[in-house]
């Protein structure tokens, strides 16, 4: 399942965050998919409006903490002691 949906009708385009089970919390995959869409949208001169929305009951709960925690566990931050 794609975490980002793209739809276009006439001059209107929709970017839809598509992870409703997690209230569309932003993930790295979502960010990458949006980055790939932006040049496509910029090249399409017929698009006049882009609507960013979320599937399900929430637009977005913010960042996906599961990913942040997993990254932190793989690469824990180094803590330097001050003497």
Per-position pLDDT tens, the chain of length 83: 789 999 999 999 999 999 999 899 888 889 889 999 999 999 999 999 999 999 999 888 877 666 655 656 666 555 565 65
In a domain, 17, yes or no: yes
Burial label, 30 (beta-carbon count in 10 A; 0-12, 13-18, 19+): buried
pTM for this entry: 0.73
In a domain, 40, yes or no: yes
In a domain, 20, yes or no: yes
In a domain, 83, yes or no: no
In a domain, 79, yes or no: no
Boundaries of domain holding 35: 4-74
In a domain, 81, yes or no: no
CATH of the domain at 32: 3.30.300.220
Number of structural domains in the chain: 1
């Amino acid at each position: 399942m794609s975490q980002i949906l793209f739809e276009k009708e006439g001059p209107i385009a929709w970017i839809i965050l598509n992870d409703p089970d997690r209230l569309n919390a932003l993930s790295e995959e979502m960010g990458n998919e949006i980055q790939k869409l932006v040049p496509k949208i910029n090249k399409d001169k017929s698009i006049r409006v882009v609507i960013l929305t979320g599937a399900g009951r929430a637009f977005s709960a913010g960042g996906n903490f599961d990913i942040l925690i997993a990254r932190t566990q793989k690469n824990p931050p180094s803590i330097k002691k001050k003497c």
